[in-house]
Amino acid sequence: MMPMHILYGGTFDPVHHGHLRLALEVSERFGNVPVHLVPCYIPPHRGETGATAAQRLRLLELAIDGEPRLRIDDRELRREGASYTADTLRQLRNELGPDVPLVMVLGTDAFAGFDLWKEWQQIPDLAHIVVVRRPGTLLDPEGEPARLLTERGGEAVDASARASGRVIELDPPWLDISATGVRERIGRGRSPRYLVPDNVWEEIRRLGLYGACPVKNF
């Protein structure tokens, strides 16, 4: 069977257990295919990040240590400048060839604004989209993302049968963790322990990220 390539992009500022659990659930759903975490450089629709690109990458490396099903693809960081998913997918499609199923994973919150992305209409021709239901986020039933879901909806199994074109909804258990919440906790002198891996928290303190202070935080 043709190998599948799965991509999961985000700011990862910082990576947390919500991201890591989701990546593993998706990997298992597709037969333990590795999931490539893709940290973005400067998110086009967001402001400044709390850590630099190199620091976010370092935290990701620590987070996936020892888990072969989770990998990092740092091409957006190496490319620098605004990270557009369409560019990343086009680059990967060139590398993989026309037949390898390529899957892009994102939460409902990210998918809700999908039609604001650069060249979004071309994305379904480059990859399958896996939308992971995020509690509390509803799609506008009249909007383009909802229309895409209706027109191109499919099951996980459909993704391995063709290279791109399906929009697949998954509903794995969702941990109620956000990077914003992690940053806020740290900024207030509280501990994000058990929300992020211990080695990630240790490195955040060592680097003094997000206002962490080795004396104040523990």
d(CA 77, CA 13): 14
Q: Based on the shown chain and the rule CB under 6 A, indicate whether residue 107 belongs to the binding site for ligand ATP.
A: yes
Contacts of 32 (CB under 8 A, 6+ apart): 69
Q: Based on the shown chain and the rule CB under 6 A, indicate whether residue 100 belongs to the binding site for ligand ATP.
A: no
Q: Residue 22: enclosing H or E segment and its boundaries?
A: helix 17-29
| Number of residues binding to ligand ATP, judged by CB under 6 A | 18
Site for ligand ATP in 165-194 (CB under 6 A): 174-175, 177-180
Site for ligand ATP in 118-137 (CB under 6 A): 134
Q: Is the peptide bond before 44 cis (omega within 30 degrees of 0)?
A: no
**Residue 74 corresponds to which amino acid?**
D
d(CA 37, CA 28): 15
Q: Based on the shown chain and the rule CB under 6 A, indicate whether residue 207 belongs to the binding site for ligand ATP.
A: no
Q: Map residues 43-82 to x or -, x wherever contact with ligand ATP holds by CB under 6 A.
A: ----------------------------------------
Closest distance of CB 24 from ligand ATP, Å: 11
d(CA 68, CA 9): 18
What does the block give as tokens for 3? 């190998």
Closest distance of CB 2 from ligand ATP, Å: 25
Closest CB to ligand ATP among 109 and 171?
Answer: 109
Q: Based on the shown chain and the rule CB under 6 A, indicate whether residue 10 belongs to the binding site for ligand ATP.
A: yes
> In 10 A of CB 9, how many CB atoms?
21
d(CA 40, CA 199): 22
Q: Based on the shown chain and the rule CB under 6 A, indicate whether residue 145 belongs to the binding site for ligand ATP.
A: no
Chain residues in the site for ligand ATP (CB under 6 A): 10-13, 18-19, 22, 106-107, 109-110, 134, 174-175, 177-180
